[in-house]
Structure 1
Amino acid sequence: MGDISHREYIRWLPEGSSEPTSTIVLTSPERRFVDLRILRAPSSSPYYASDSSSDVFGDDLPLSRLDWAIAGTSTSTVRDSEDGTGRRVQVRHSRWHHWIDSRTRNAEEASDQGDMYTQDDTRTLERGRMVNPATGLETEYEEMWRSEPAHDTPASLAVCVVLEFHDDAAGKRGMVVRLGQYCQGFLREGDQLTAERLKCIRGGERERDAAEGRGGSAWIIQAKIGYSEMPTDFATDFGHEAEVGDEVKVGGNFWRVVEKSGV
């Protein structure tokens, strides 16, 4: 099954935990994923939200707000381990195979793996080692992830659709994952990056919706960085009708549906 994961915090040991970003990972049933980590706005910014849980930023964010964007596939194995208190537990060791990476053009060379410890029905603690961008040093880290269930939208039952585009000779790759009420896309064209997150908001879910008299539901752009076009509208509006192998031309690029399923 697919997964919608929100990061609650990151901790670079031995320092305390914090969450400077809005991070959501959409993973399809066949384990394709788009991971967008968008830096929260400072209080002086017009995008600042006093409600720290708000993920609505804007559709013209500068590249400086992109902490990290990744797209690729993931694999997992299960093994026995200790949980830190001496108890034996089953741990899921996960690897994320980068196909596109905002931090490097050599995405496949990135090492990304961690051990996943189930905390409760919705929360999972990830532990591992990776380079801390603030220091440039490989450091032990912890990340707490919270899963959100995929739900139906007005146009369809909960659905997952994945589109990909690549022109490796031109240094271009892109992936869009729509999973239930969320859709995320990431496109790299040489050094040019575009990342986008949308969510289907139910009427009255936010005070602003009620104030504007929106009683229905609508897909809103929560955040967009960059100016290239991706088939996010196709995924949100027509994803329930798409079939594997379908192609759609957007921004001069031909994107192919590589996965489609219910969730």
Structure 2
Amino acid sequence: MAGVSIRKSIRWLPQNAHEPTSTVVLSSAGRKFVDIRILNSLDKDAEDQPEILDSSRLDWAIAGTSSSIAVPDRGPDVRLSTFRHWIDSRTLDLASATDEGMMFPMETDGEDELVLEIGKMVNPKTGLLTDYEEVWIEKAAESVPSDDGCQIVVLEYDGPSSDRRGSIVRVGRLCQGLLRIKDQITAERWEWNEGKGWWRSKAIGNGSALPCQKVLESLPSDTVEHEGISWTLVECSQI
């Protein structure tokens, strides 16, 4: 099922939980995802400005596919989720970049579902494999009122090698894109709201490299040509 996951906190055991980033994961019905994590600014007044952010603000950006299986011995609704990285801003060694976490449903927070993810991964500050806990807010996809057609869209650019790839996932009122051309990483987050319509809320890298705006302005055809790159429509459905 397509959806939106917003990270509420991360905890590297035995430290306390905190949230140093704006982390959003968009997942399509076909289990394609784009996960963008932007380090928070100390200047709160700058957070709403859509200018291109310095590349140092990118904590991590990932695109790929996910899968999930039930783990009944850990609880009736517990699942093991696996995330296979097709693009990874931190590495080109994609064969070893797959990660997984055990997902435990928590009590709801108002209308939102909360999920606790438990696993092990390398803490970028220490370089050591470390136990972690992440709390995720799970939101259902919301449609844009003026749209009658496809609101879940996935486009991909599959270049000649693993260092030339791109992925765009739109889920209702949110869209995220990630493009890697060798060492150049471009990442964008677009949001729709009643007051602004579509606007680019986060951007890092080449400000014109991703065709997110084209995708949002009109229903994409089988291919989208942009800045010399041909993007292929791989998924299109309604909420």
| TM-score for the superposition, normalised by structure 2 | 0.92
Aligned residue pairs total: 233
Match of 2:214 in 1: 234
Give, in angstroms, the shift of residue 229 of structure 1: 1.4
Preserved CA contact (<8 Å) 1:126 1:142:
yes
Match of 1:149 in 2: 140
SS at match of 2:56: helix
Match of 1:70 in 2: 62
Could you tell me which runs of 5 or more consecutive residues in structure 2 were left unpaired when the two chains were aligned. Answer: none
Match of 1:119 in 2: 106
The more displaced of 118-127 and 176-185 is: 118-127
Q: Larger radius of gyration, structure 1 or 2? A: 1
Give, in angstroms, the shift of residue 202 of structure 1: 1.2
Residues 1:78 and 1:222: Cα distance change in structure 2 (over 3 Å): same
Preserved CA contact (<8 Å) 1:170 1:189:
no
Match of 1:260 in 2: 236
**Percent same amino acid at aligned positions?**
43
* RMSD, aligned CA: 1.8
| TM-score for the superposition, normalised by structure 1 | 0.84
Letter in 1 for 2:238: G
Distance 2:157 2:99 in 1: 23
Match of 2:29 in 1: 29
Could you tell me which runs of 5 or more consecutive residues in structure 1 were left unpaired when the two chains were aligned. Answer: 83-87, 204-216
Give, in angstroms, the shift of residue 159 of structure 1: 1.3
Preserved CA contact (<8 Å) 1:66 1:225:
yes
Match of 2:73 in 1: 81
Preserved CA contact (<8 Å) 2:61 2:187:
yes
The more displaced of 164-173 and 176-185 is: 164-173
SS at match of 1:61: coil
Deviation per residue, 1:127-186 (Å, 9 max, x gap): 000001111111110000002222221430471000000212483100000110000000
Deviation per residue, 1:78-127 (Å, 9 max, x gap): 01234xxxxx4431000000000000022232131000001135111100
Distance 1:259 1:252 in 2: 22
